[in-house]
Each structure stands twice: as structure tokens, then as C-alpha cells.
Amino acid sequence: MSLVVMKFGGTSVGSIERIKNVAKIIAKKKDQGHDVVVTSSAMSGETDRLIGLLKEIDKDYDLREYDALVSTGESASCPLVAQALISMGYKAVSLSGIQIGLETDHAHSKARIMKIDGARIKKELADGKICIVAGFQGYNPVTNDIATLGRGGSDTSAVAIAAAIKADVCEIYTDVDGIYTGDPRIVRKAKKLDKISYDEMLELASLGAKVLQSRSVEFGMNYNVDIMVLSSLEDKPGTLVTKEDDEMEQVVVRGVASDKNQAKITIKSVPDRPGIAATIFSRLAKEAINVDVIIQNVSTEGNTDLSFTVSKTDLSRSLTVCRETAKEIGAKEVLADEDIAKVSIVGVGMRSHAGVAAKMFEVLAANSINIQMITTSEIKVSCVVDEKFAELAVRVLHEAFVED
Amino acid sequence: MSLVVMKFGGTSVGSIERIKNVAKIIAKKKDQGHDVVVTSSAMSGETDRLIGLLKEIDKDYDLREYDALVSTGESASCPLVAQALISMGYKAVSLSGIQIGLETDHAHSKARIMKIDGARIKKELADGKICIVAGFQGYNPVTNDIATLGRGGSDTSAVAIAAAIKADVCEIYTDVDGIYTGDPRIVRKAKKLDKISYDEMLELASLGAKVLQSRSVEFGMNYNVDIMVLSSLEDKPGTLVTKEDDEMEQVVVRGVASDKNQAKITIKSVPDRPGIAATIFSRLAKEAINVDVIIQNVSTEGNTDLSFTVSKTDLSRSLTVCRETAKEIGAKEVLADEDIAKVSIVGVGMRSHAGVAAKMFEVLAANSINIQMITTSEIKVSCVVDEKFAELAVRVLHEAFVED
């Protein structure tokens, strides 16, 4: 017998029929003799409906009231899941973020989890009950106000709850059946992975493989929670996200990913003085804009060109900041390019295998794909290329690194 | 400056347009210099939608989960009202039953209020904020579970909150503009009352004038809270429900009411022994069936006929109980009559005016309306008549007692 946390997204509980199906999956787990804690999202469409009502009043809404409003989505779906189990003859109880003592900071609409008091969950489990916990929501213990973790935050709360109650595994049920070596819609020969390390998953998640929210993986890594990604539609093995082992090091590239939600900004003729780059990037940081790949050309005549990427959604705000700053520091002009994509290979095996980056450049060159920018980490190499080459790049890299 | 509690029902917050209208009514009150606490119901239709989802799973649902589910209706409407005020430039904050410390007993779906901690509301008022409090919901401090007060319970929570924070008045906004001397749909000359005593209102509420929930009036009486019934559609004076004063005693009959939701049960040839009536009525009480008018005929040959009324909705359960009991005690048969109505006149002035009941019987007799049963209290006389005479009886009694 083990202690299992199961997480279901909005689509899985999107109708009463689906809720009954989810209840069967949960009941089966309980029948196998496990203690079961479930976290559920709002019924699909419900969160958008609530936000729609709020925006009808005011597009520039108050974040505290936003949290109080949207948290009702999960607070409504969980009693329905609990009822479905009770009607099947199981003991079940729905619990809100406040009830399980999920404490957050003050950042309404994107709060961070500070602490989870597992006492209530443990009491209910000891009574033989299945706990159905509202994902995505907690409360600020200082103000006693509800706070939500931001969209997708129910993955994070599931893993955090698993950590708090020392669950053996956190199962994330989704509409895909696991993590693949590449996007199956692009790469025909993409294979499902049995397991993947936290580090690799983090790189893939941030690179556009949107199966798991990055913060949930960080939580899993920090608290050593095994995360299993599974299908809620089919009963078959998923992918385990877990800590790195020796076997994993044998594989150089675990997966290939692409991200088209990128835009490149170039500031021309920036005076090459100490502190200039810091000025630009600290102003972007103040606007909460994440900068990804950065390259600075070799200086000529005391001036240099500075290029970096931001997400497409942040582009217009970034340009405003950059144009103001360019004027102040005496840079020549600011250019934007939205037609780019970032293509990446990820694998912990890179640490012990040389020449991986070189091989990547060769493969791209052999297919006439020009590399605009490069960035690397210990377990990842990313290249920015023309957007129209994104799928081709993924395919040839998958062939060269994964299929061989 | 005074402290005002304003209560809005589901119809008043049934759409974003109506929520904006309610916000204007609230803002006007605030502009007059008052401290304002609002309690709101769920948007009309929302509670039924949620219960519908639950019944789709199981008609025989769990009451704890029912409470967790339906309480989300108010938890969603209050942030929308708060946002509408914030967008108009006011400081406002939505609060749940847990947040204001509204403690209840264990009776899920029809919980009773045990205590309200007014601290959070007072703190927010001191910060200049308008508080938008979810009506109808509280929590059980022992289990830390959400409990609802039963349908219509938002009137009660409004008055209870007004009592807890010592508000000067509790304004109940409805789709009618006050309490009338008779149902205006039946009595053309019905007049709106400026004020009415708690006792009179309680009699009228329990007699089918469904403007205010009885429990809210009891709360008002027990804690001496002035309750003003007002229209949320038109800006005009309403009716004040308040403690009796000398002036009120001058009026013999405050209002005339009828109640068609009544059925008569007659148990024939009941052995006339001590304890027999107690047996019957204690068994009905155990089934939570409220018995209203009771008459027992003069005994003949050691047997008597026993008649009483129950609400139509309780009739079939009552008959089951009565037939079982009749068999045990050796009564002859059990008859039911659904075609009855109770017609009543109410007024605190009756205490000091003789002959009121006699005049009522004369008026009914003069109009050939046969009286089947009679019951009286200090401030009320009720007659059970054939249902088809209900409207006629109300009209002639209104003419005789109110219009003259």
C-alpha cells in the first residue's frame, strides 16, 4: 500500500459524465489498496466563464477579487467528484485550499506556496476517506484572503501536496499519455519516454513542451516527489519524472523541442561602456519581462549590437522599454523580428559526452538552416532559427540524435 | 452617519448589468456618509444550476458536499459586486462566511447561526471599505466545514450580521417595494405599510406573505434590529419592520393573508384516552412535519374525530405516519382534504380590542363562506375555509377590517 496523489485537469472533469469516469479511475486506485488524495481543476470552461463576467465589469480588474472569484471554479468541481465517489459507495470528502492549510504569499493571481499543513488530509485518510482537494488555490495566512497560484497552478499544488504529505508518487492525468522525445505532430518517429529527469523535464517544459508546468517540476525536484504523467482517457503506462540515475546518463539527447513563441529584439550601435547592458536588462526585469537568449556582437569603434529574445506576448512592452532606453544611452535604433523559433536538444548525457553542440550545428548546416543565435546550458543546446525552418529543424535533429 | 447592512437577492445580481445597478444603489448609500455592509445571494439561477449538476450524479446527495458546492454561488457573486464598486472608484472587499467568522451548528443544508465574529468586518469598515459579504453561508468551527443556512437564508444572515456589528438598520432589497395590508394581486385597495411590528410580520410571514424569511424576523426581534424592506428596482420608501410602539396598537388589523399550501387530515373515531393525541403528534414531529391548526370534536361513545392541517408538501409523508398510527391505536380511518386554504387577520391592536374574531366570523358568514377550523393567537385569527373561497375571503376581510 502506498500514498498516491492524483491530479485531474479541467477537461477530465468537464462534464458530469467525465466526472463519473474520473471517479472510476480514482476508485480503481483505492481498490488496489492505496491511500488516495485527488486534486482537481475547475470544470473546463468555468474559469474562463468567471473571468469573462469579471471583464464585463472591468478589464482592469482587482486581483484580490479575481482570486476570490476564480477559486470558486475548483471549489465547485471538487464536491461533484466527491459526490460521484460517495454514490459509488466510497468514503470521500472535498477540501478547499483553506481547509488543507495551503498557505501562500501576497501575490494575488500568481501566488507562491509557502507552506502546507497536511493535518486535515492525514486525518481524513486515517478515517478511510478519499480526499478531493481544490487545486490552484490557497490562502494568505496574514490577511486570511484566498489566493490562486495562477493558471496551470493545479499541477503545482498537486506536487506540493504530495511533498507535504510525503506521498509515494504524484500522478498527473492529462489528455496526452506521457512525455515524448519530440512533438508527435511534427516528428513521426517520436517515442514515449518511460522516464525523464527533473532537469531534462524543466528544460523541455520551458522550451514549449507544455505537458507539465515548470513550477510543478521544480517542486518535485526540490522535495524529491516522483511525478507520473498519464492519460485520463486510456489506461496505459505514462512517463515518470524523477531524479537522475546512472542509466539516464547513457542517453545523450532525451528530447528535441521547438518554441515559436519567441521574438528577437536588436539594439543597434550601443555604446560599449560598462553598465549599459545592466541598465537595459534591469529595466526589462522591472517590467517582469523574461529575457531568454542574449548575444552581443564584437565591438567596432566603441559601439556594439545587442540582440536578445523575449516571448512574443512581451514584445510590445519590451520595445517600449528598449526604445526609451536606447534614446537615453545614445543607441542608434531598435529592431524587432517575430519570425523566429528556438529549437533545442536536451539530455543529461551531454555532461559526459563531448561534441554534441558541434554535431547539432553540422546537422542544421547540412539542411541549409541558418543559425541566428546560440545558447547552451549543461544539459541543453538551443539555436534560434528562422521560424519557417522550425519543423524541419526538429525533424532532422530528432533523426540525428534520437532515432540513431 | 450610521452603519447600514444592505441585502440583495439573486434577481438583483442576476446579470452584470444588474450587478452594476446594485453597485450604484450601494454607492449612493456610501455617498450619504454611511458605513455600508452588503450581503448578496448567488446570481439568480446559479444555485439551481449547481444543484442540478449534483442531482445529475445522485438525487440522494451528501449534504456536506451539497453545502461545499452551493456556497460557491455566493462566493462568486460577491467579488463581482465588489469589483463593480472598485471600478466606480470605491474601496470594496468581498468576504466569505468563513472570513467574517459566521459560525454555525452541524446541520448541513439548513444550519443555524451560532455566533458571528464581527472583527474582520469592523476592520475593513475602519479602512473605509464597503464589505460585500456572502449571504447564506457560514462554517462549522468544530469540523472547519462550510455549512449553508438553507434556501432564503441570506435574509437571515443579513439580519444576523446587522445584529453582530450593531448596525442601525438592515435593508432588505427585493422585487416588491414593501409589506402590504393584503396581496395586491388579490386586493385592489391593498396599501403599503410604513411600519409593522416583528410579531405581526412573523404571523404574516408564516401565513404565506413570503417577502421576508421568518427566521430573519425572529433574529431581528431577538436582537432588536430594524429591518427595512425596499425595492431594488425603484428608489422609494419601503416598510420598516421594528419593535411595537403605542401608535401600532391603534390599528386593530395590520394585514390580511391567505395560505393555500395547506392540507387537512382527519383521523376518524380515535379512542378518547389520555396520551393518544400525544402519540400521533410526537410521531409527526419526529418526521419534522409541522402541524398547524388542530381541532378535536366532542367525544361520543368514547371516540372522537381529530383534524389538523399540515403543509401540502408534507401531506403524503403525514398520511403514511397517520395510517400506521391509526392502525395501532384502533382508529377507524384517515381522510385527507387538499382543497382548503387558511385565511388570517393579523394585528397587535387585537390585544386591546374585543370582538375581532366574532366580527371576522360574521363577515365570512355574510358572504356564505363556511368555516371549517379556527385558530387564534394574541394577535391573529385564522380560519380554514374551502380553497375556492380564499380570494373572496381575503377581499371581504380586507374591506371590513383595513379599508373601513
Whether A79 has its CB under 8 Å from any CB of chain B: the answer is yes
With a cut of 70, which residues of chain B have pLDDT below it?
151-152, 206-210
Suggest the residue from A16, A63, A96, A109 to mutate for an interface test with chain B (most B CBs closer than 10 A): A96
Map grid coordinates 445571494 to a residue.
B41
The 8-class DSSP code of residue A355 comes to S
pLDDT per residue as tens digits for the range B40-59 = 999 999 999 999 999 999 99
CATH topology of domain B340-403: VC0802-like (3.30.2130)
In total, chain B counts a number of residues equal to 404
Domain range list for chain B: 3-174, 266-337, 340-403
| Residue A327 scores a pLDDT above 90 | yes
Q: Is the pLDDT of residue A344 over 70?
A: yes
**Residues of B annotated as binding site for ATP?**
7-10, 174-175, 180, 185, 210-211
- Of A143-152, A187-196, B86-95, minimum mean pLDDT range: A143-152
> Does the annotation flag A55 for ligand binding?
no
Checking ipTM against 0.85, whether it exceeds it is no
**Buried-state track A147-174, b at ≥16 Cβ within 10 A, e below 16:** bbbbebbbbbbbbbbbbbbebebbbbbb
Pairwise CA distance, residues A106 & B353, whole Å:
65
- The predicted pLDDT at position A295 comes to 85
CB A18 within 8 A of CB A28: no
Q: Residue with C-alpha cell 414531529?
A: B285
pLDDT of residue B215: 85
Residue numbers in B near A20 (CB within 8 A)? 57
Protein fold of A3-174 = Carbamate kinase (3.40.1160)
Residue numbering of the annotated binding site of B: 7-10, 47, 74, 174-175, 180, 185, 210-211
Task: Spell A83-121 as b/e; 16+ CB within 10 A means b.
Answer: bbbbbbebebbbbbbbbbbbbbeeebbbbbbeebebebb
A25-34, A183-192, B21-30, B145-154, range with the lowest pLDDT: B145-154
> Hey, is the C-beta of B69 within 8 angstroms of any chain A C-beta?
yes
**What does B316-370 look like in DSSP terms, one character per residue?**
HHHHHHHHHHHHHHT--EEEEE--EEEEEEE-GGGGG-SSHHHHHHHHHHHTTPP
Q: What is the mean pLDDT of chain A?
A: 92
Q: What is the mean pLDDT of residues A144-161?
A: 88
Gyration radius of chain A's alpha carbons: 23
Q: Could you report the per-residue pLDDT of B155-169, keeping only the tens digit for each?
A: 899 999 999 999 999
Task: Convert the pLDDT of each residue in A259-280 to its tens digit.
Answer: 999 999 999 999 888 888 888 9
Predicted local distance difference test score (pLDDT) of residue A298: 76
- On chain A, the residues whose CB falls within 8 A of the CB of B145 are 99
The CATH superfamily holding the domain B266-337 is VC0802-like (3.30.2130.10)
Q: Give the ranges where B176-223 is alpha helix by DSSP (H).
A: 198-206, 214-223
> Is there a contact between B104 and B112 (Cβ–Cβ < 8 Å)?
yes
What are the distances in angstroms from CA A36 to CA A116, A158, A223, A234, B16? 17, 12, 19, 20, 40
Residues of A in contact with B78 (CB under 8 A): 68
d(CA B262, CA A49): 42
So what's the pLDDT on residue B402?
A: 94
Cα nearest neighbour of A23 on chain B: B57
SS (H, E, C) A199-253: HHHHHHHHCCCCCCCHHHHHHHHHHCCCEEEEECCCCCCCEEEECCCHHHHCCCC
Burial A249-270 (b: 16+ CB within 10 A, else e): bebbbbbbbbbbebbbbbbbbb
Radius of gyration of chain B (CA): 23
The average pLDDT across A71-93 equals 98
SS3 call for B26: helix
The pairing of strands B303-311 and B291-296 is: antiparallel
Question: Helix, strand, or coil here: A395?
Answer: helix
A45 pLDDT exceeds 70? yes
Which residues have a Cβ under 8 Å from the Cβ of B312 and sit 6 or more positions away? B261, B262, B263, B338
Closest CB to A80 among B53, B79, B83: B53
pLDDT exceeds 70 at position A316? yes
Report the sign of the C-alpha dihedral through residues A73, A75, A79, A81, in that order. positive
**Closest to A72 (Cβ–Cβ): which among B58, B76, B99?**
B76
CB B397 within 8 A of CB B382: no
Between A22-26, A39-43, A372-376, the lowest mean confidence (pLDDT) is in A372-376
Amino acid at A188: R
Cβ of residue A20 closer than 8 Å to a chain B Cβ: yes
Q: Considering only CA atoms, which of A153, A156, A253 is closest in space to residue A196?
A: A253
Three-state secondary structure call for residue B125: helix
Adjacent-strand bridge partners of B383: B343, B374
Which strands form B303-311's sheet, in the order they lie side by side? B291-296, B303-311, B262-271, B333-337
pLDDT value for B404: 72
The answer to whether the B3-174 and B266-337 domains have the same CATH topology is no
At a CB cut-off of 8 Å and minimum separation 6, what does A273 contact?
A: none
Question: Best interface-test mutation with B: which of A17, A70, A80 has the largest number of B CBs within 10 A?
Answer: A80
Position A173 scores a pLDDT of 94
pLDDT at residue B209, as a whole number: 60
Please give the C-alpha separations between residue B363 and each of A236, B367, B393, B398, in angstroms, as whole numbers. Answer: 81, 7, 9, 10
A51 vs A92, A340, B63, B248, B373, CA distance in Å?
30, 32, 29, 51, 57
The pLDDT > 90 percentage for chain A reads 74
